[in-house]
Amino acid sequence: MTTTAGYSRTQISLHWLVAALILFQLIFGEEIGSAFDAMLDSGVASYDLAAVTHIAAGVGVLLFALWRLALRFTRGVPVAPAGESLVQGLLANATHAILYVMMIVVPVVGLYAWFGGSEDAGDLHSWAKPAFIILVGLHVLGALYHQFVLKDGLLRRMMRAGG
Ligand code: HEM
Ligand code: HEM
């Protein structure tokens, strides 16, 4: 993969926009549950505010994640921070890769549950909450470890565009 001196302004904006959308889904996600149950019972979808915002935010996560992946492959990403051990690097890369998979699979399963009227897909989709909490928790711990233990200013890479 191409390496650059830093993330671009677009990559940084997309990172924080997607983080905010996922946070919104985790806080308000359960609200779509009652519209979903009503739809499974009656066979008719009701597009209340909770359903519309959940679907829009979820589709946003999916499209922005695909955009980010395209940018990773066309523009590139910065090299690993200096001083990072092999294990730390592998852990960071694995966390990022699983987050990307989830940013794509979770909305796709949600869309299948809603538009396919599948209760099983809905149950599977509900694992999004604990899975994102654990993965994002690990990711934030990693970022804080860099910031306060290694003191390598890693957070700045996701704040200010470079290269
Ligand atoms: C739902 C929330 C989040 C998701 C899904 C997420 C996802 C990602 C991904 C996939 C990357 C890899 C770079 C890329 O391709 O853009 C990344 C980088 C990064 N994230 Fe997050 N992130 C989230 C929240 C946060 C938060 C809350 C922080 C701050 C504590 C943070 C700090 C960083 C930093 C500093 C990097 C750059 C790492 C490096 O340059 O090696 N992220 N994030
Ligand atoms: C990354 C994007 C998404 C995240 C993080 C997310 C997260 C969540 C969460 C946390 C819940 C509540 C689960 C619970 O009750 O414990 C939920 C429910 C649900 N979401 Fe999503 N969602 C996303 C995208 C979507 C999309 C695009 C759709 C498409 C329509 C969707 C459809 C649903 C449905 C139907 C439920 C109810 C499931 C049930 O009650 O069994 N989600 N989602």
Dist CA 18 CA 139 (whole Å): 14
pLDDT of residue 84: 86
Q: Looking at the domain assignment, is residue 93 inside a domain?
A: yes
* pLDDT tens, residue by residue, 57-90: 999 999 999 999 999 999 999 988 888 889 999 9
Looking at ligand 1, which residue's alpha carbon is closest to its atom 17? 96
Nearest atom of ligand 2 to the alpha carbon of 132? 5
pLDDT of residue 60: 98
Q: Is the CB of 32 under 6 A from ligand 2?
A: yes
What's the one-letter identity of residue 161? A
Model-level pTM? 0.95
pLDDT of residue 118: 97
Query: How many Å lie between the centroid of ligand 1 and the Cα of residue 99?
Result: 9
Q: How many CB atoms lie within 10 A of CB 102?
A: 19
Q: Looking at the domain assignment, is residue 8 inside a domain?
A: yes
Nearest atom of ligand 1 to the alpha carbon of 15? 16
Count the domains in the chain. Answer: 1
Start-to-end Cα distance in the chain: 16
Q: Looking at the domain assignment, is residue 56 inside a domain?
A: yes
Q: Looking at the domain assignment, is residue 30 inside a domain?
A: yes
What ligand has the least distance to the C-alpha of 141?
1
pLDDT tens across the length of the chain (163 residues): 778 889 999 999 999 999 999 999 999 999 999 999 999 999 999 999 999 999 999 999 999 999 999 999 999 999 888 888 899 999 999 999 999 999 999 999 999 999 999 999 999 999 999 999 999 999 999 999 999 999 998 999 999 998 6
Query: What is the span of the domain harbouring residue 144?
Result: 3-157
pLDDT of residue 163: 61
Q: Are 3 and 79 in contact (CB under 8 A)?
A: yes
Q: Are 131 and 139 in contact (CB under 8 A)?
A: no
Beta bridge partners of 3: 77
Q: Looking at the domain assignment, is residue 46 inside a domain?
A: yes
Nearest atom of ligand 2 to the alpha carbon of 26? 10
Q: Looking at the domain assignment, is residue 162 inside a domain?
A: no
Query: How many Å lie between the centroid of ligand 2 and the Cα of residue 15?
Result: 20
Q: Looking at the domain assignment, is residue 92 inside a domain?
A: yes
Q: Are 69 and 2 in contact (CB under 8 A)?
A: no
pLDDT of residue 83: 82
Q: Looking at the domain assignment, is residue 163 inside a domain?
A: no
